[in-house]
Structure 1
Amino acid sequence: MSSSDTLPTTTNNNNNNATPSFTSILTTRSQKLYNFALKYKSQQNPKKSHQMLKTMIRFQPELETYEEVRQFFSEASEGKQRQEEEESQQLHEARQENLAQKGSIKSQFEEMPSVKVDLLTPNLKTQKGRNYDSEWAQKRDLDEFGYGYTDQGFLVRLDSPPGQPFKWQGQDHYDFLGDAIKRHLQKVLTQSYELKEVVMNEDVAKEEPAKAVNVFMTPQAMEKEGTLLVLIQGMGAVRPPMWALSLCINTKMEAGKLVGGLRAGTMFEYQEKASELGWEYMILNPNQNYSNDARCSPIEGHRNPIEHVITAYDQLISKSKAQRIVIVAHSYGGTAVVEGLLRQRASILRRLKSVVFTDSNHQQIHVEGLPQEAKSFLQQYAQNYVTSDQPCGKPLGGRAGVNIVSAGTEEHIWTSHKAYTHAFEYMILCLQMNGTPEERFQVASQQKQEGNKAFMGKDFRKALSQYARALMLLSQTQLPESVKDEALALSLTCHVNMAACALQLEEKLSAIRHATNALELRETNASKEIHGDTKLNALFVKAHFRRAQAYVSQNEFELATKDVEEGLKLDADNAALKAMRKKIDAAIQRRRKAEKKAFAGM
């Protein structure tokens, strides 16, 4: 892969014999977070310490290169797990005591059906403080709460005044309304989308209905040999098909339009796009970890999201006949993919073609122990759409083993929705990259044409993206001899055009880099007879011209002059280069006069 096809990753280039302490590079924000982490460590609160360190690393990723930071983070992670286990046990004991005092709660759950169960009853493990004596606890359907969804997917009141948005009526009301919404959405999955509901631990569920774990899939997900999309939500109260419960409930005005609701808070748009593409899909249920009864006992094989994803792979994904698998994982779902599938079920790599993370919270320490094949896969075929004020898809560098791009929003819960269109474009591109060499070359040509259209329409950011995709396809391809010369010309054209885009966006350093990448092709192909190729020479001339333009804008006149001279060697009559040389000469004369005047006054 050429240097333009990969995003830069942060490395520590200091000499091993003179490596400064990581504290010497802490920003003001990171220093505060680090101080808080130390404070919570001294107070024996590793959960808080872990949170501070995680935030510090997110704001300053280069800190992960320091062994002291990794060790501190690892200790905090282990302590956090122990603390959560202790809190879990304490919660379990408290609920057992509460059960003895309130037999009515127990009888409520004993009335549940023996086989067909409501898997959306609140997860007592993660939703503390539920008041089952509340008037809302007995309501199950949305209309009982006085709410319904419009055709546009917005939650509105049905009672007086009708059509109004959600109104806060206390935590009890919010919690139990959320459960009703979950029941409603899963009915939509089976009735409107005609998905198949699968109870993964059916044998256990027959004996203990409260321990059933359900997932949803298209009817042919296990049988069709095409592409299978696996959707995995983050941690918390969310269940299939939700990305964020709060978005399913609340709305807001954005650019004069009402936004939020089911289009933003659920996986519906992902499901519909997958069906449009002819893909099958499967929705996992990583948060159904404890029984839905007062015992709140762990469910074997599903005790946490990582374990659930592994079990889902063993029982379902691995047995699917799909030849190609792509994954979209939100938030902690990303950690479950890295820790569960890539680390413990690396056999998935034989069919896995792409992973889209939406603001995944996995860290470098999760990637370090992966098999090399898994690391390489993440670098080439995975992308994390993170919170940012930049346009969706804009590269932001590399972190935790994957390319980082903007999701086009600064709000975590919105990332899956905002990245939706770009995410599918990326997955499709990755699938194309896994096609035959001839197919990839054709697609690369199409991407270049799309880039040209975007450039003519002055959408330079989109044009950059299209050209980069074309280069990515070409870099992954062992092309047949019949198209190698065309591929070289195509690569060169994309690099030169990317330099032109960067100049239009006033990103001068990027323009220099892209033009340099183009000129390096001349060196790497020096053994070939390309110097007499008129078409290729014209492109090399353009590369010199673009780089000269960028150098002039940086007042690097000597470097610009060198590029002009090199370009004129290839095309002595080039009018643009001659005009550029006059411009540079005039600028140099002005600078010399200014310097002479400045020194004369000393």
Structure 2
Amino acid sequence: MPARASIFLFCLVWITMAQLLAQEEKEKTTALKDLLSRIDLDELMKKDEPPLNFPETLDEFEYTFNEHGQLRHTHTGEPFVFNYKEDLHRWNQKRYEALGEIITKYVYERLENDCNLKKEILPVDATEDEPKSFIYMSEDALTNPEKIMVLIQGSGVVRAGQWARRLIINEDLNTQIPFCSFGAEGYGVIVLNPNENSLEVEKVPDPANKPSPDASDEPAEKRERKEERENKKKKDFYEKYRNPQKEREMEHIPIRENSTPEEHTLYVWDHFISKSLAKNVLIVAHSYGGLSFVNLMIQREAEVKNHVRAVAMTDSVHNVLCHCCNWVLSPEPLDTLVDPMLNDCPRVSAGTEKHELTSWKSFHSIFKFFSDALKDHEDESSSSPVTTRSSHRIKNEDL
């Protein structure tokens, strides 16, 4: 009997404690809800994320390129730091993008001042008010009688003169400038800008979409909308907490005949490359630039085969049926033959396993490849016999 009484007493105490704990937890929850209801979320969010206003020059960012082409802080000498504000990924990303736009302008200045390239506006017959793009060309790009080199970068945010923005910011000035500088040694140069496809403008609100102030709603509809707003507020609480600033709504107006990388490449071929006096056209195509060139071959096959002497691709999955070599990702030493995916274009190691470094690492190999291709073509041209009826008959008999 005493044992039963002890068990009963123990259970009673346990139940009482559980009830007290539950009551205490409920009071804590109520207190937390009350606290949250009194927090000024707008004010809290302003404190959480700084304004999305960033410097417009390298000097204002307090960064500069040193003698090695590395981006460094002007005071500390440290490399660029992405996580400038801890736990504010969106703000850090916007800051990175703002710096990237400054880098783009910096590269344009280097192309013009260091490489003596000039800007050509596209379309060539663009009106004053329509969206425009541009490419860069050397002075002799259309008049060089021997050879011109055409540079086509991959997709993304990169613009004329860049292979990869991330490398420029985080490693060194890894741009197309060395390729353009080589143009001073007998090459005419044309630098494409395949990702400049549209003009970004702020979207103007459509008055037709605004609700009429005179419109009356049924109470049920009002209640449903109110519940929907409340649910959305709860669901998006965390997102709103970390993303308080509303970004401007933008729209893109496509550039005529240059609205895609493929269109752009075709347009530049028709209006510039095909009009060049050069007997030899040499192409460097990185990544998606390979697809742009393949599309060009499909659209202008006879012209391309007649003018293009060699194509150097860097980590492109696109191959072409012409004098081509593709420098791909590989741990093997530079120029080591890699197992081909297809039989139409040799694949060799770029000496790196970083996609964006392939053009930079294979720089010297590409120009050797071009020199060999030009020499082979010259030898073939000089050794080709004059075709006669008898020689043609002998060839057929031999076959």
**Larger Rg: 1 or 2?**
2
Matched, 1:394 2:329: no
107, 110, 120: which one pairs with 1:185?
107
Secondary structure of the structure 1 residue equivalent to 2:126? helix
Please state if 1:344 is matched with 2:299: yes
Partner of 2:73: 157
1:385 aligns with 2:327: yes
Which residue of structure 2 aligns with residue 201 of structure 1?
A: 123
Q: CA deviation at 1:436?
A: 3.1
Q: For 1:438 and 1:293, how far apart are their aligned partners in 2?
A: 53
SS in 2 for 1:272: helix
1:399 deviation in Å? 2.7
Residue 390 to residue 135, structure 1, CA distance change in 2 (3 Å): same
Q: Give the partner amino acid of 1:343.
A: I
Structure (1/2) with the larger strand percentage: 2
* 1:233 partner letter: Q
Distance of 1:191 and 1:292 partners within structure 2: 27
TM-score by length of 2: 0.67
- Could you report, residue by residue, the CA deviation over 1:326-385 in whole angstroms, capped at 9, with x for unpaired residues? 00000000010011x21101112111100000001326xxx6xxxxxxx3x2xxx10110
The whole-number CA distance in structure 2 between the counterparts of 1:419 and 1:155 is 23
Is 2:321 aligned against 1:405? no
One-letter amino acid of the structure 2 residue matched with residue 176 of structure 1: A
Counterparts in 2 of 1:141 and 1:387: CA distance versus 1, 3 Å = same
The one-character-per-residue Cα deviations of 1:19-76 (angstroms, maximum 9, x if unpaired) are xxxxxxxxxxxxxxxxxxxxxxxxxxxxxxxxxxxxxxxxxxxxxxxxxxxxxxxxxx
2:337 equivalent to 1:417:
no
Residue by residue, what CA displacement relative to the aligned partner does 1:421-441 show, whole Å, maximum 9, x if unpaired?
1111111111111003497xx
Separation (CA, whole Å) in 2 of partners of 1:247 and 1:399: 28
Question: Matched residue pairs, number?
Answer: 281
What letter matches 1:331 in structure 2? S
Q: Which residue of 1 aligns with 2:53?
A: 135
Q: In structure 1, what residue type is equivalent to 2:111?
A: L
**C-alpha offsets along residues 304-325 of structure 1, whole Å, 9 cap, x if unaligned?**
1111100010111111111110
Q: Distance in 2 between matches of 1:402 and 1:132?
A: 51
Quick one: structure 1 residues 434 and 412, their matched pair in 2 at CA, closer, same or farther if it must change by over 3 Å? same
Q: Residue 406 of structure 1: CA displacement? A: 0.6
Shift of residue 202, structure 1, vs aligned partner: 4.9
Q: Distance in 2 between matches of 1:176 and 1:134?
A: 10
Q: Partners in 2 of 1:426 and 1:289 — Cα distance?
A: 32
Equivalent-residue separation in structure 2 for 1:173 and 1:387 (angstroms): 31
Is the aligned partner of 1:167 residue 2:75?
no
Partner of 1:355: 311
Supply the distance in 2 between the matched residues of 1:164 and 1:205 (Cα, whole angstroms). 46
Deviation at 1:273, TM superposition (A): 2.4
Deviation at 1:206, TM superposition (A): 1.4
Q: CA deviation at 1:174?
A: 0.3
> Using the alignment, how far apart are the partners of 2:127 and 2:96 within structure 1?
28
**Aligned AA for 1:322?**
A
Question: Residue type matched to 1:403 in 2?
Answer: P
Q: Residues 197 and 132 (structure 1 numbering): CA distance in 2 closer, same or farther, change over 3 Å?
A: farther
Residue deviations 1:193-245 (CA, integer Å, cap 9, x gap): 2111111225435113xx21110011111112110000010000000100010
The 8 Å contact of residues 115 and 177 in structure 2, kept in 1 or not, is answered as: no
2:248 counterpart of 1:306: no
Spell out, residue by residue over 1:249-270, the C-alpha distance to the aligned partner (whole angstroms, 9 max, x if none). Answer: 012xxxxxxxxx11xx201121
- 2:184 aligned partner, one-letter code: S
Asked whether the equivalents of residues 437 and 479 of structure 1 are also in contact (C-alpha less than 8 Å), the reply is: no
Kept after mapping to 2: 8 A contact 1:202/1:212: no
Say whether 1:216 aligns with 2:98: no
CA spacing shift, 1:303–1:399, aligned 2, 3 Å? same
Distance in 2 between residues matched to 1:205 and 1:133, nearest whole Å: 37
Distance 2:150 2:128 in 1: 27
User: In structure 2, how many angstroms separate the alpha carbons of the residues matched to 1:182 and 1:317?
Assistant: 24
CA contact 1:383–1:402 (8 Å) conserved in 2: yes
* Greater relative CO, 1 or 2 (CA 8 Å, sep 6+): 2
- Distance, in Å, in 1 between the alignment partners of 2:201 and 2:334 is 42
Q: Post-superposition shift, 1:274?
A: 3.1
Confirm or deny: 8 A CA contact 1:287 1:304 kept in the other structure. Answer: yes
Amino acid of the structure 1 residue aligned with 2:104 = K
Give the match for residue 323 of structure 1: 279
| Equivalent AA in structure 1 for residue 197 of structure 2 | N
Structure (1/2) with the larger helix percentage: 1
Show the counterpart of 2:289.
Answer: 333
Matched position secondary structure for 1:350: helix
Asked if 1:269 corresponds to 2:211, the answer is no
SS at match of 2:333: coil
Task: Judge conservation of contact 2:156–2:195 (CA < 8 Å) in 1.
Answer: yes
Q: Distance in 2 between matches of 1:200 and 1:287?
A: 13
- Structure 2 residues without counterparts, runs of 5 or longer: 1-48, 85-91, 203-250, 387-399
Contact 2:340 / 2:346 at 8 angstroms: preserved in 1? yes
The aligned amino acid for 1:356 is A
**Could you tell me the TM-score, scaled by structure 1's length?**
0.45
Alignment correspondent of 1:536? none
Aligned-partner Cα distance in 2 for 1:437–1:349: 16
Distance change (3 Å), C-alpha of 1:479 and 1:437: farther
